[in-house]
Amino acid sequence: MPETEAPQGYWGADVATLGDRIAAAREAAGITEKQFARRLGVKTRTLLDWEEDRSEPRANRLATIAGMLGVSVMWLLTGQGDGLAEPGSDTARPFVRVQAELVEMRGAVQALQ
């Protein structure tokens, strides 16, 4: 029987997406979509496309996003490294738990399709 890897937790690449992590980190920083887009020098629609996984930022923009949000580029890409606390931990904020529920619901909907 093949050996399976242990689950990576909520922020793992197999559960959350780059867009999920960008949105969660932005919300944790208390920055609106419009404010963050303005600070990045992009249109709000561009930021929404990144957060909704319709497109991805280029490497230089990804580094800027990570720096502005206080997380590592590796965490944004894979969920590993310096980032937000996992939902359910003592340091997790309530909106992060809601984000986790939304990711679970998205997975359930995709499984039904």
pLDDT in tens, 61-113: 999 999 998 899 999 998 888 877 665 554 444 444 555 566 677 777 778 87
Write the DSSP symbol of residue 1: -
Write the DSSP symbol of residue 84: P
How confident is the model at residue 62, as a pLDDT? Answer: 95
How confident is the model at residue 110, as a pLDDT? Answer: 76
How confident is the model at residue 85, as a pLDDT? Answer: 65
Shortest CA distance to 69 belongs to which of 90, 52, 51? 51
For residues 53 and 19, the answer to whether their CB atoms sit within 8 Å is: yes
In degrees, rounded to 5, the angle at the alpha carbon of residue 89 between the alpha carbons of residues 64 and 91 is: 55
- Provide the CA 69 distance to its chain's centre, in angstroms: 11
Shortest CA distance to 11 belongs to which of 92, 112, 91, 87? 87
For the cut 70, the answer to whether the pLDDT of residue 7 exceeds it is no
Of all residues in the chain, what percent carry a pLDDT higher than 70? 71
